[in-house]
Amino acid sequence: ELKKTKVGARTNVSHLSYVGDATLGSGANVGAGTITANYDHITKVKARTILGDGASTGSNSVLVAPVHIGDNAVVGAGTVVTKDVNNNSVCVGNPSREIKNIQDLPYDQ
């Protein structure tokens, strides 16, 4: 489901996901079951989520707005994102506690 969302060229939101009040860059991928948690029930305010160009979210991830996922950043499956993720970074955890640059990871790409 998409609501008040702008989707960039070549971006995939193909599986059961809720993406509301968001801007998705070009060439991005939204994993199955990803949701944007865009409403704060205490303040009664909706906030936006921004997914950068080439960014990707893993299955069942939650993006707690307001949050910005940078260009070419990767959100691991099941991750709850509560703070911005830099360009070219990987974000994992529940909620995310560690954000690292992709080039610092110990495996070949």
- Burial label for 63, CB within 10 Å (0-12, 13-18, 19+), is buried
Residue 27, SS3 per DSSP: coil
Residue 78 confidence (pLDDT): 94
Q: 92 - beta bridge partners?
A: 98
Instruction: Enumerate the active-site residues.
Output: 15
Q: Residue 97: which pLDDT band, with cuts at 50, 70 and 90?
A: low
Residue 99: per-residue pLDDT: 74
In angstroms, the CA 63 to CA 95 distance is: 10
Give, in order, the Cα–Cα distances in Å from 11 to each of 27, 41, 81: 5, 30, 20
Given a cut of 60, is residue 20 above it in pLDDT? yes
Annotate 39-95 with DSSP letters as a single string.
EETTTTEE--EEE-TT-EE-TT-EEESSEEEPTT-EE-TT-EE-S-B-TTEEEEETT
Where residue 42 falls among pLDDT bands split at 50, 70, 90?
confident
How far, in Å, CA of 14 to CA of 66, rounded? 23
